[in-house]
Amino acid sequence: MKDTIKNIVEYNDNKLSKSFAFFIQFLIVLSVITFSVETLPNLKPQTKAILNSIEVFCVVVFTAEYLARIYVAGNKPKFIFSFFGLIDLFAILPFYLSFGLDLRSLRVLRMFRLFRLLKLVRYNRAMRHFAKAMLLAKEQIILFMGVTLVLIYFAAIGIYYFENEAQPEHFSSIFDSLWWSIVTLTTVGYGDVYPITVGGRIFTFFILLIGLGIVAIPTGIISSSLTKVVEPDAEEE
Amino acid sequence: MKDTIKNIVEYNDNKLSKSFAFFIQFLIVLSVITFSVETLPNLKPQTKAILNSIEVFCVVVFTAEYLARIYVAGNKPKFIFSFFGLIDLFAILPFYLSFGLDLRSLRVLRMFRLFRLLKLVRYNRAMRHFAKAMLLAKEQIILFMGVTLVLIYFAAIGIYYFENEAQPEHFSSIFDSLWWSIVTLTTVGYGDVYPITVGGRIFTFFILLIGLGIVAIPTGIISSSLTKVVEPDAEEE
Amino acid sequence: MKDTIKNIVEYNDNKLSKSFAFFIQFLIVLSVITFSVETLPNLKPQTKAILNSIEVFCVVVFTAEYLARIYVAGNKPKFIFSFFGLIDLFAILPFYLSFGLDLRSLRVLRMFRLFRLLKLVRYNRAMRHFAKAMLLAKEQIILFMGVTLVLIYFAAIGIYYFENEAQPEHFSSIFDSLWWSIVTLTTVGYGDVYPITVGGRIFTFFILLIGLGIVAIPTGIISSSLTKVVEPDAEEE
Amino acid sequence: MKDTIKNIVEYNDNKLSKSFAFFIQFLIVLSVITFSVETLPNLKPQTKAILNSIEVFCVVVFTAEYLARIYVAGNKPKFIFSFFGLIDLFAILPFYLSFGLDLRSLRVLRMFRLFRLLKLVRYNRAMRHFAKAMLLAKEQIILFMGVTLVLIYFAAIGIYYFENEAQPEHFSSIFDSLWWSIVTLTTVGYGDVYPITVGGRIFTFFILLIGLGIVAIPTGIISSSLTKVVEPDAEEE
């Protein structure tokens, strides 16, 4: 009996386990969509009832799956406190915690439901590659994230001195300038804040010329690291 | 006779076939321009008549070419249901389907005319490289598209919780937040929606720092894959 | 005599020729700044007079240099019709053509003065590398420019169908949609035009996911090509 | 005694020196945050007093550290005029210079306090890599910065001719056009200035197609250079 469950839940080499994995993936996507639809304003009571039924069904299945995983695990505490074990728990916990309580006040707790989405990680061999690549380049990424943060801070201080007097409502402090700094150096450029003084524009000119190269470095590190990890695997198959 | 047509239509090694290929390419570009000009508002009846004549001429030539291709094909059904066979069909079909019917109501069908543009693929050796590179990196691209989609979804949920109360008209549901999410993480940043709360701005700060690296990965994969495919070919010539 | 001029004008291995090259570079930058300052509105007559004197001086020196280059060239017609020969000519021609004529009406001709800036190319060994790299990757760049253009066109047609009815003033024809298309796919995103319908937003979502990878390819090709060309040279020195 | 101080200040191989380095890093971050908080408008007098105390404490510690570093340095003048020696000095100098003087009028001098942030460089082995990589690619970066600047200038002149008459308030001179040019070619696209004429839009279309590749080159050079420098080090450990 335990072996049968183990076959279904843990491995991916037989038909039954593949169907099971597919079913769970479908439920994850379904519950993600349900969660999104629930946020729509002016929903009808019937729609809410249907969404709630789907939610209950998903949680019941996820709970059963979670208990099955604990049951078949060799080292039970190790599984429970593993990354995926905790995600499995957090994916169902918010539902039980809100039972019998005022749902409105616990609204923030629902954010934990996002963890359900992370379950997708388990079923995707490819995503393990991503995790591996991130681990390989971890040091470098932290390093250049640091350089990027220093640059963003410098840009914020600079623009604060140039624009504070001309636009006190948009650049009231360095914290406000940081918002401009991140939006500009990532080239998002919403257009809600931008320099209007000649000095501020010349400063932006140089910060963009120097800064874009630096901000792009973490991207390059992640890309090259991913290529290294993915490459050998592609040959195996 | 069949051999002569085959030489003209299928190969690119003699003068006649090259002229033919060039002529078809010119007609494709002409019909694309015609199609664009037709969408201009307040066109004069004479202009419309001229555009229509060009359209009829293009469709007649394309139909003749399509029939010639079927005629010279070794395995006729295989050609008809091949990618390029279907594109050739869809490039001329909308014209015939709208004959004798009310053109206004079939307007949506005209979108199929876009397929005519895809015919350019056949005549360009270089574009086959692109298709080859896409095939080579197909698995990896789908994989990281997935990661990107998950990230976009996470960003949307996060900003929804931070901005929903402050800007209910812009972040009314997770679907509205998704629009913000895609526009921000691709760094387009139209400026129609952006966070205004302190929490939302700090969240955007971190999502941009982490997210831009991830969103850029598919780009890196396509680039490296294209380099691999194009490289050996450059040596051959 | 001819050898002395040749040494000064054509080579960069002695002190005199280096001073000469530096002097010409300085004049180019000066005339570029002069040109920019002249466009400022509400200039005083004295300022205009000074700017004009600088302009006359620059043109006289450039003319002398141009004649010297023709004088020392081995194959005179070859030099005159070479890329740099023509740039040297275009850099001084607009000044002479406007003599005795109404300057206002010839305003457009002044755009040729931009070519003066291109003279910078001659004096910079590094820029020759850039030209070399562009030549090496010419075929690939044209190819993917084509793919990018097709994609931009597709995006424009798609958004036209989705947004034309909702925003007839912004998406009045495919030509207007092309403006949206280029601004969006290059991630500039001014925010002057953006989709507001649900269909248009979903379409933008997919176009951005697919499109950004394709648009980034020419960038990658240029980068890699430049790396190849610059690398060996760095070892030589 | 001198050896003990040397061990603490200059090396990173024993517990005491590591604690010291960590303490200094903490103070740097603290003084950076203090500096940012000070810019907030409408601060209470108590808050200002606390911020001032922290500032005094940081400066005292930094001064002691600076004098210790001079004391243990083998070649004292070499240290004082080295890059990090000067940063250490500039990090504390503004505080002493403003003593007994009117702080308001010396506000600009406070910008030198930013240099304190640069002290972070000393304590981070990884940042030395960054400096090394920048040195390796210095020539190439300057070169392509030049190409980028020329392109930005060309784009500014072009848009000036197309948009000056239609939008004299936004494109009043080439200097105003330069602002548009940098914001567009870095794809920031605030949306404060954008072309509205057909000619200006077509010009932008081509500038973006050509320009984005060129602007991205310095980014590529920095990335590849960083990869080269970081790679061997990773093997050492």
Nearest to D187 by CA among D172, D220, D209: D209
Residue C16 has pLDDT above 50, yes or no: yes
Residue D107 — very low, low, confident or very high, per pLDDT cuts 50/70/90?
very low
Region of C126 on the Ramachandran plot (φ > 0 left; ψ -120 to 50 alpha; else beta): alpha
Amino acid sitting at position D46: Q
Roughly how many angstroms between the first and final C-alpha of chain B, as a whole number? 32
| Interface contact C189, partner A, CB < 8 A | yes
Residue A114: its pLDDT value, please? 45
Give the residue on D whose Cα is nearest the Cα of A162.
D108
Q: Is B190 in contact with D187 (Cβ distance < 8 A)? A: no
- How far is it, in rounded angstroms, from Cα C116 to Cα C91? 4
Exposed e or buried b per residue across B135-162, where buried means at least 16 C-beta atoms within 10 angstroms of its C-beta: ebbeebbebbbbbbebbbbbbbbbbbbb
The gap from C-alpha A147 to its chain's centroid, in whole angstroms, comes to 23
Residue B24 parent element (H or E): helix B15-38
Number of neighbours of residue B181 by Cβ within 10 angstroms: 26
pLDDT in tens, D5-60: 777 776 666 778 778 777 877 787 787 788 788 888 888 889 989 988 888 888 88
Nearest to C233 by CA among C129, C136, C137, C130: C129
- How far is it, in rounded angstroms, from Cα C182 to Cα C109? 29
Identify the DSSP state of C52: H
Residue B151: its pLDDT value, please? 82
CB < 8 Å to D164, chain C = 39
Residue B126 — very low, low, confident or very high, per pLDDT cuts 50/70/90?
low
Average pLDDT over residues B161-166: 88
Q: Is C39 in contact with D140 (Cβ distance < 8 A)? A: no
Q: Which residue reads 């695997």 in tokens?
A: A233
- How far is it, in rounded angstroms, from Cα B12 to Cα B126? 14
Residue D233 — very low, low, confident or very high, per pLDDT cuts 50/70/90?
very low
Q: Where are the alpha helices (DSSP H) in A39-165?
A: 45-72, 76-80, 83-97, 114-118, 125-136, 138-163
Identify the DSSP state of B204: H
* Residues B197 and B162 sit within 8 Å (Cβ to Cβ): yes
Residue A139: its pLDDT value, please? 66
Q: Select the residue of B187, B190, B191 nearest D187 (Cβ to Cβ).
A: B187
C38 burial (CB, 10 Å; 0-12 / 13-18 / 19+) is: middle
Residue A193: its pLDDT value, please? 92
Q: Is B41 in contact with C143 (Cβ distance < 8 A)? A: no
| Interface contact A187, partner B, CB < 8 A | yes
* Residues A218 and A139 sit within 8 Å (Cβ to Cβ): no
Torsion from C-alpha of D35, D41, D44, D50, nearest 10 degrees: 0
Least trusted range by pLDDT, from A63-77, B129-143, D199-213: B129-143
pLDDT in tens, B195-220: 999 999 999 998 988 777 776 676 66
pLDDT in tens, D134-148: 777 776 677 677 778
**Greater pLDDT, D37 or D127:** D37
Identify the DSSP state of C98: T
Chains touching chain B through at least 3 C-beta pairs below 8 angstroms are A, C, D
Average pLDDT over residues C59-64: 86
Residue D125: its pLDDT value, please? 58
pLDDT in tens, C102-133: 333 334 344 444 444 455 554 455 566 667 77
Nearest to A151 by CA among A179, A180, A181: A181
**Greater pLDDT, A45 or C139:** A45
- How far is it, in rounded angstroms, from Cα D209 to Cα D204? 8
Residue B203: its pLDDT value, please? 92
Tokens (6 digits) for A98: 């809100």
- How far is it, in rounded angstroms, from Cα A138 to Cα C176? 45
Average pLDDT over residues C177-194: 91
Least trusted range by pLDDT, from A175-184, B5-14, D193-202: B5-14
Residue C23 has pLDDT above 60, yes or no: yes
CA B199, B201, B207 angle in degrees (round to 5)?
A: 105
Task: State the Rg of chain C over Cα.
Answer: 24
- How far is it, in rounded angstroms, from Cα C189 to Cα D189? 6
Q: Where are the alpha helices (DSSP H) in D73-136?
A: 76-80, 83-97, 114-118, 125-136
Chains touching chain D through at least 3 C-beta pairs below 8 angstroms are A, B, C
Domains of chain A as residue ranges with CATH: 2-123 (1.20.120.350), 136-236 (1.10.287.70)
Q: Is A187 in contact with C187 (Cβ distance < 8 A)? A: yes
- How far is it, in rounded angstroms, from Cα C4 to Cα C57? 23
Give the residue on B whose Cα is nearest the Cα of A231.
B140
CA distance A108 to chain D (A): 29
Give the residue on B whose Cα is nearest the Cα of C203.
B179
| Interface contact C143, partner D, CB < 8 A | no
- How far is it, in rounded angstroms, from Cα D64 to Cα D60? 6
Residue B230: its pLDDT value, please? 52
Q: Which of residues 110-139 of A touch B (CB under 8 A)?
A: 111, 114, 117, 120, 124, 126-127, 129-130
Residue B49 has pLDDT above 80, yes or no: yes
Identify the DSSP state of B111: G
Exposed e or buried b per residue across B18-40, where buried means at least 16 C-beta atoms within 10 angstroms of its C-beta: eebbeebeebbeebbebbbbbbe
Residue A120: its pLDDT value, please? 52
Residue C62 — very low, low, confident or very high, per pLDDT cuts 50/70/90?
confident
- How far is it, in rounded angstroms, from Cα A224 to Cα C145? 25
pLDDT in tens, C219-233: 666 666 666 665 444
- How far is it, in rounded angstroms, from Cα D220 to Cα D140? 11
Residue C111: its pLDDT value, please? 44
pLDDT in tens, D151-163: 888 888 889 888 9
pLDDT in tens, C194-208: 999 999 999 999 898
Number of neighbours of residue C127 by Cβ within 10 angstroms: 18
Q: Which residue reads 């003066």 in tokens?
A: C116
Residue B224: its pLDDT value, please? 64
Residue B233: its pLDDT value, please? 43
* Residues A122 and B158 sit within 8 Å (Cβ to Cβ): no
- How far is it, in rounded angstroms, from Cα A137 to Cα A141? 6
Region of D194 on the Ramachandran plot (φ > 0 left; ψ -120 to 50 alpha; else beta): beta
Q: Select the residue of A41, A145, A230 nearest B209 (Cβ to Cβ).
A: A145
Residue D181 — very low, low, confident or very high, per pLDDT cuts 50/70/90?
very high
Residue B83 has pLDDT above 50, yes or no: yes
* Residues D203 and D158 sit within 8 Å (Cβ to Cβ): yes
Residue C95 has pLDDT above 70, yes or no: yes
Average pLDDT over residues C81-99: 72
Tokens (6 digits) for A13: 């080499």
Q: Is D205 in contact with C108 (Cβ distance < 8 A)? A: no
Best of D152, D186, D229 to disrupt the A interface (most A CBs within 10 Å) is: D186
**Greater pLDDT, D229 or A105:** D229
Q: Which residue reads 């603290």 in tokens?
A: D30
Q: Where are the alpha helices (DSSP H) in chain B?
A: 2-10, 15-38, 45-72, 76-80, 83-97, 115-118, 125-136, 138-163, 174-185, 198-215, 217-236
Least trusted range by pLDDT, from A23-27, A209-213, B11-15, B101-105: B101-105
pLDDT in tens, B165-174: 899 989 988 8
Spatial neighbors of A41 by CB under 8 A, at least 6 apart, are B168, B172, B173
Amino acid sitting at position D50: I
CB < 8 Å to D140, chain C = 126, 230, 234
Q: Which of residues 6-35 of C touch D (CB under 8 A)?
A: 32, 35
Best of D147, D165, D175 to disrupt the C interface (most C CBs within 10 Å) is: D147
**Greater pLDDT, D133 or A162:** A162
Average pLDDT over residues C7-32: 75
Nearest to C39 by CA among C113, C92, C117, C116: C113
Q: What percent of chain D stands above pLDDT 90?
A: 12
Nearest to D116 by CA among D41, D30, D1, D201: D30
Number of neighbours of residue D68 by Cβ within 10 angstroms: 17
Count CB pairs under 8 A between chains A and C. 6
* Residues B38 and B58 sit within 8 Å (Cβ to Cβ): no
Long-range contacts of D156-161 (CB under 8 A, 24+ apart): D156/D180, D156/D181, D157/C35, D157/C111, D157/C114, D158/D203, D158/D207, D159/D195, D159/D200, D159/D203, D159/D204, D159/D207, D160/C39, D161/C108, D161/C111
Residue C25 — very low, low, confident or very high, per pLDDT cuts 50/70/90?
confident
For helices A138-163 and A125-136, give the axis angle rounded to 10 degrees: 70
Count CB pairs under 8 A between chains A and B. 100
* Average pLDDT across chain C, whole number: 75
Long-range contacts of D198-203 (CB under 8 A, 24+ apart): D199/D162, D200/D159, D200/D162, D200/D163, D200/D166, D201/C179, D203/D158, D203/D159, D203/D162
Nearest to D57 by CA among D32, D25, D85, D27: D27
Nearest to B115 by CA among B84, B160, B138: B84
* Average pLDDT across chain D, whole number: 75
* Residues A81 and A68 sit within 8 Å (Cβ to Cβ): no
Q: Which stretches of chain A score pLDDT less than 50? A: 100-117, 122-123, 231-237
- How far is it, in rounded angstroms, from Cα D183 to Cα D191? 9
Spatial neighbors of C201 by CB under 8 A, at least 6 apart, are B179, C195
Nearest to B164 by CA among B130, B135, B200, B207: B200
